[in-house]
Structures are given as structure tokens and as C-alpha cells.
A and B are shown apart, each in its own frame.
Chain A
Amino acid sequence: MINGYNSDRDKATSDDKLVARSKNGDKAAFEILVRKYSKYVYTTAFFMVRDSHEAEDISQEVFVKVYLAIGGFRGLSSFKTWLRKLTVNTCIDKLRLRSKTADRKVSLDSLVEDGKEILLYEFNQNVEKFFQDKEAVKDILKIIVNLDESYRIPLILRDLQDYSYIEIAEILKKPVGTVKTNIHRARKIIKNLMIDK
């Protein structure tokens, strides 16, 4: 699925309009936002908590929070950024609650077989080139999804969600140095496993 947006600016403008309408109680506008971002929220949650049911619950919780609090959103950041931070915070809360749970292996293949599919989304680059890279990207995601939590979460926040090291350290309540070390180690693991393939 490739969205036909010309630029990030167009996207932001259309989001701003939808948010403004939602603030005025327009449920149709809010539904457009849900349809536009539900997969994005779900994917973020899935890679963080590694459980499709929990990721779905988190997606519902995030949009309920957005719906109830959208009147208080002042728009100092883009709606997508706000939504992303809210999703990450909700996931971190869930992970803290179940921090004693042992890590388990998750297969991205079984997820795809389970009726879930990896899709193209908001992709603005050369499509043909993307399909060449897609398999390699899937391999990397398979490795990421099976990384230990202490490596997986900082790596996802840094490399997939564009958080700064300081932000990650604040969220995870860990020193910046530890965060940097864990991200470095995670990248090294991915690099080594990709070389072995």
C-alpha cells in the first residue's frame, strides 16, 4: 500500500485539519485518523511488546486516550509525533508491569502465516528498489523482534522511532551511557547475524 501524499507538509496539514475537526466532536474525522494511523500504532506496539493480542489492546487504549484528550492537544508537535510518543509510553508502562515475565522467542514468519502481513506504508522512495530491500529488511526485523528486551527497546526507539539518546534514557530510566552501549551491542548482534546469513 503506498499513500499518494506528495510531502510530509501535505500530510501534516491534512492531519491538522482532521485534528481540528476531531476537537469539535467530528467522529468521522477522528475515524479517518484511526484508519490512517492504526496500523502504525499497532506495528510500533507489536515490535515493542512482541505479542499481537497485547499490541491490539495497546492500539485500542492509545486511540481511546487520544479521543478523550484530543481537546487538550495544542499541536506543538505534529499529530504523528504525539501519537508515536503516546504509543511508546503506553508500551513502556505495559512492559514495566510485566517486567518479570521471561523473554520468549517470537517468529515474524509465524505472524505472517497467522494472517498478518508486512506491508508497504507511506513509502516515498523507488518502489522497485524497495522490493529488492524488503527481504533484507524482513530479516533484520526478525532479528530485532527476538533481541533481548534491554537491547530491543532502545534500538527500536533510536533506529525506528528516531528518539534521541537522552529521551531514551529518560523513558527507560537508565543512564545515557548504558543506553548507548545497549544500542551499539544490538547493532553489532544484527550486523553479525546478517553477515552469517
Chain B
Amino acid sequence: MKELIMKTLNKFFKVAKDIVVDPGNDIENRIMDKIKNLSDEDKVILDDDFMNFLKKSNSRLYLFNKKLKENCGLIVFFGILGLAAGTFLLIEYRNYKNQKA
């Protein structure tokens, strides 16, 4: 029962991702007005935090490291699998060699 409720919740979360709240007051035009009337003073908005974000989002190395960190379970799994396969092949090879001798 609990599992069914969680499944349903997950389905609703999926739907909720596609929902927007309409600001209802011409937000697009106000954003464009702001952009058309930008001054040099507005550039302070590009603070250190933002520049750091921009640098990270443009760094292949950072993004690769992040992917590695997020999938470390999978990497460990494939590592163990590879090691097991390697050991198996080595044992098989030795057996083959011994039989031949």
C-alpha cells in the first residue's frame, strides 16, 4: 500500500514538473524593458558568486568530476565487475596453460 502511494506521488511529482504558475502581469515585457534600459551600474549583478557559477558551468573538468562523484556507486560496481572478470580470465588462462603442459 505504502509503495503504491509513493508510486502515485512520484507520478504526480513528474506532472508537477510541467506546471507553471502564471505571474499574470506581463512579466516578459517587464523583463525586456529592464534589459533594454540596462546601465553600467546593473553590471554589479555579475558578482563573484555568479562568475564562479559561470566558470564552473563552462569547465569540462568540473562537470566530469561532478558526474564521477554522482555516479561513484556505478563506477565502483563496474570496477568490481571488471576485476572479477579479469581474475576469472586469468584463472581460465592458467588452467588452459597447465592442461597444455
How many Cβ-Cβ contacts under 8 Å join chain A to chain B? Answer: 152
At the interface, yes or no: A42 with Cβ under 8 Å from chain B? yes
Instruction: Sort chain A's interface into a size bin.
Output: 35 or more
CB neighbors of A among B44-82 (8 A): 45-46, 49-50, 53-54, 57-60, 63, 66, 69-70
Chain B residues with Cβ under 8 A from A27's Cβ? 35-36
Docked Cα-Cα span, A59 to B47, in Å, equals: 17
Chain B residues with Cβ under 8 A from A136's Cβ? 12
Instruction: Sort chain B's interface into a size bin.
Output: 35 or more
The answer to whether A34 touches B24 (Cβ under 8 A) is: no
CB neighbors of A among B14-28 (8 A): 15-25, 27-28
Docked Cα-Cα span, A40 to B21, in Å, equals: 8
Chain B residues with Cβ under 8 A from A52's Cβ? 23
Distance between B15 CB and nearest chain A CB, rounded to angstroms: 5
The answer to whether A64 touches B34 (Cβ under 8 A) is: yes
The answer to whether A43 touches B19 (Cβ under 8 A) is: yes
The segment from A6-14, A146-154, A159-167 found at the interface with B is A159-167
Mask for A28-48, Cβ within 8 A of B = 1, else 0? 001100110011101100110
At the interface, yes or no: A185 with Cβ under 8 Å from chain B? no
Docked Cα-Cα span, A140 to B8, in Å, equals: 11
**What would 27 A/B residue contacts be, using CB atoms closer than 8 Å?**
A27-B36, A38-B23, A39-B23, A42-B23, A43-B19, A55-B23, A63-B31, A63-B34, A63-B35, A64-B35, A69-B50, A69-B54, A115-B24, A116-B22, A117-B21, A117-B24, A119-B22, A121-B20, A133-B11, A133-B12, A133-B15, A140-B16, A141-B19, A160-B16, A190-B9, A191-B2, A194-B5
Using a CB–CB distance below 8 Å, which chain A residues touch chain B?
27, 30-31, 34-35, 38-40, 42-43, 46-47, 52, 55-56, 59-61, 63-65, 67-69, 72-74, 76-77, 82, 85-86, 89, 93, 111, 114-123, 125, 130, 133-134, 136-137, 140-141, 159-160, 162, 164, 166-167, 187, 190-191, 194-195
